[in-house]
Every structure is written in structure tokens, then in C-alpha cells.
Amino acid sequence: MTSADNYILVTGGAGYIGSHTILVLLNAGYKVVAVDNLSNSSRESLNRAARLSNVEGEVPFHQIDLQDVQSLRKVFQKYSIKGVIHFAALKSVGESVEKPLLYYRNNITGTLNLLDVMVEFGVKDIVFSSSATVYKADPKNRPLKEDCDLGCINPYGRTKYFMESIIKDVVDSQEGWNAIMLRYFNPTGAHPSGDMGEDPQEIPNNLMPYVSQVAIGKLEKVHVFGNDYDTIDGTGVRDYIHVMDLAEGHLAALKKLGEKKCGFDVYNLGSGTGYSVLEMIRAMSKACGHDIPYIFDKRRPGDLGTVVCDPSKSEAELGFKVKHGLEEMCADLWRWQSNYPNGYND
């Protein structure tokens, strides 16, 4: 092993949320090793995380796909791993509908392999990057609490639900396991330096990276799906959370894993405040200093008018509370997008 120090293994560590979480972990004094297959991420994100942290040196990194068990096992052999934060997964709802087998194979098999190796090496602490997509699409669920009914309407959401279930079964079957599922809502923003942010390799699937690319001129206009919902302006309302707040939420969950008999638990990570699509576009227009063009399209099947979380459990038990509001989300996102129009390729 490289050191007697205990490391936190971060799977998918070069991704948007993974890299920002690694920066927060480094600043909190944790030793981190990252693995990522770089299918939708950049090694450069980890270079930026190391540079922006108060820790000298590079983040140990291994380009590994979790379907490659032997390579993953070598990482556990090389480092003394104390716990795992598991981000690695494909995450496009639309793509999952078109290629369900790809999503089931990648997300679920990767998680099974990770858990197998954790069992082999006696690592029993895991924070899992789940999603609000696991909740049943029911307009009565307002706001969403952790005990609301689950019911996914797409293969991506089902993989997250199945992954949660698999982890729970492992926790229930063996002594000493501690697992926290973090169901988060709509991450946006970037590091306030403007040097780290979301870098989608293709046309973005989520609203805010799409809006920011329209703002910078890479895309023509924003497509707003539905303007006849029962909301403040007819467009869909969602709960947005700054990526730095989200990263702090993972740190809070990791600290809770250190408590005795943590067992299996689930927490929402969100602001508890909803913003409509038009409100987000206007806020981003203010941040970039010019109007952002948009058009209205038909509703997408399965979309709800309002999806907002109740963050009270994470506030009470994790001590987690968002610090950044809508203006900061958009200002930081625009700073990143304008500094690096082509993401880490710049």
C-alpha cells in the first residue's frame, strides 16, 4: 500500500459532482483516490481540484471502468481505503430510454463489482449518489420527503432505485456496514473561481448547462417543455442546488458514516425552494448581461409541474443547509461558461 493513511475512494471522481466533492474533501483534510473511465468527464477536473484546494500534489487517479473488476481490485490493494463515495454511473434519462441494457449493465454491474471488492477488502462505509428520479411521479408528493412512495418511470431512475436496494440488502446482510443514499435534485453552478464546472461532452440534457450554452452562443435557443402547468408562470418548477452545497452534503454524509451504528439511511439534498424554467432563464440572463432566447414546446411525457424536496431531515441529522441562492448559482455558472466556453478542452 502507498501509505498507512486511510483514503476515501471516489468513483466517477472526474465528473461534475465528483470533482467538486473531491475539492471539498481535500479542504477538509481527507486523503482521496479517484477512479473514472473518463467516458463523460475530464482528468483536468482533478488537476483543478488539486490546485484550488489547500493540499499540495495531485489527486491520485486511476482510469478504470467499474466493470473491470481486476483493475478495481488493484486500487484496493494499493491504497488503505476507509470508505467509498460512489458517483460512477451513466446519467442521461433520454439515452437510458433508448439504450436500457447499456444503463442496466453499466450502472448495476458496476455497483455489484464495487460492492464485491469492498466486501473482499473489508470496506464497509459507502455514500451513494442517488437521485430524486427514484420518487414516484405523483403530484400529491409536494414537497418530496424521504418516505414518499418510490416509482421510477425511466431506466435511469430504475437503475438508481435498484442500486439503492442492492446496497440496502448488503447492509442488512452483514454486520458493520454503514450506507447513506443521497437523493439530490437539480445541481447547477460551478466553483466560484470559474475554473471548475460542468463539462458535458455532448448536447446537455439538463436545463441549466443547456441555458448556459445558449447564453454563450453555442446553442441557438432554449426549448421550454410545457407552459400550461399549474405554476407561477405555467412552466415547470424544480428544486435547484449549487454544486458546492451538494459537495458539502457529501462531506456531511461521510462524517455521519463515522458514527456508530449509522446503518442504512436516506437523505434528500436540495434547497427546498422551487424555481420555474422561466425564472431560471431570467436569472441566467441577468448573470450574463443579455436576453437568452427560448421557445415553448409540448410537455414531455411523465413530467410534473412541480418537483421540490423537503430538506428538513438532512438539515436535522446531517447539519446540512444550503448556503448559495439562485443569483450565486447563475453567476458562478456563467463565470465558468464564459471563462471556458469549451469546458476543460480550453
Separation between Cα atoms, residue 310 and residue 304, nearest integer Å: 17
> What is the distance in angstroms between the CA of the first residue and the CA of the last residue of the chain?
36
Cα–Cα distances (Å) from 58 to 85, 99, 118, 217, 255, in that order, read 19, 36, 25, 34, 23
* DSSP character string of 17-33: HHHHHHHHHHHTT-EEE
Instruction: For residue 97, give every residue at least 6 positions away whose Cβ sits within 8 Å of its Cβ, in sequence order, or none.
Output: 154, 155
| Catalytic position from the list 7, 16, 79, 156 | 156
Interatomic CA distance for residues 107 and 66, integer angstroms: 9
Specify the DSSP class assigned to residue 190.
-
Q: Could you tell me whether strands 125-131 and 31-36 are parallel, antiparallel, or unpaired per DSSP bridges? A: unpaired
Q: What is the DSSP letter of 133?
A: G
Contacts of 102-108 spanning 24+ positions with Cβ under 8 A:
103/155, 103/156, 103/159, 104/155, 104/159, 105/67, 106/67, 107/156, 107/159, 107/160, 107/163, 108/159, 108/162, 108/163, 108/166
Closest CA to 253 of 10, 5, 56, 48: 10
340 is catalytic: no
Catalytic sites, residue numbers: 156
